[in-house]
Amino acid sequence: MASPGHAHFDASTVGESTVFGPTDRLANGQRLALLEQLKSWCADTRTTITIKPVIDLTQHLTAPGYAIPDRIREHVILRDTTCVFPWCTRPARGCDIDHVTAYDHQADTEHTPQPGPTDTRNLAALCRFHHRLKTHTAWHYEMTAPGTFVWTSPHSHRFTRDRDGSSALDPPDAPGLATGPRPSSTNDGDEPHERP
């Protein structure tokens, strides 16, 4: 039987019982999953199940140094769900985790404050293509709230991306308005493709 990936269901406590919501999503492909479907997979003796602790996405997690521990990586993946570049739909589980404000590797040796800490308030999921775009071009972004990002293009056009989707912050008739390059599903992310 094929692995369904990671399933996420909301749960609440009613008296002494835990009650799960009837539907939620599978992390691979962002497909909906029914609780009854999950129960049938669990009844199959060939199914392997790993139950992980609940991750509170409102909590701020931090770690010393540049490396991103698994607990923080998982938090960012669940919060962002996809690459956070506007209109990109690459699943976050296959993305790089980026320091929104760059980590300064010299800060400790120079005894200066760290401008880009390894903290969930400074980390985002970016597919490799958009990670390179942010690192090597004039595209830049900031996190304005957990899971909400404002991107600025090299031509100063601004776009927002949150869990509800992406939108242009500039007027729709602004000259030269474009969403910038994004990878297509037919390449490995090394060739830019303009959004139609």
If DSSP states are collapsed to H, E and C, what string results for 168-187?
ECCCCCCCCCCCCEECCCCC
In this prediction, residue 167 carries a pLDDT of: 94
Q: Per-residue pLDDT tens for 141-191?
A: 999 999 999 999 999 999 999 988 999 998 655 544 444 555 554 444 433
Claim to verify: residue 79 and residue 169 sit in the same structural domain:
yes
Claim to verify: residue 28 and residue 103 sit in the same structural domain:
no
Number of folded domains that form the chain: 2
Claim to verify: residue 71 and residue 167 sit in the same structural domain:
yes
pTM for the model: 0.68
- Beta-sheet strands, E only, within the chain: 7-8, 11-14, 17-20, 23-26, 32-34, 62-63, 96-99, 118-119, 123-126, 140-145, 148-152, 158-162, 165-168, 181-182, 193-194
Claim to verify: residue 79 and residue 30 sit in the same structural domain:
no
- Decide: helix, strand or coil at residue 136: helix
In this prediction, residue 172 carries a pLDDT of: 58
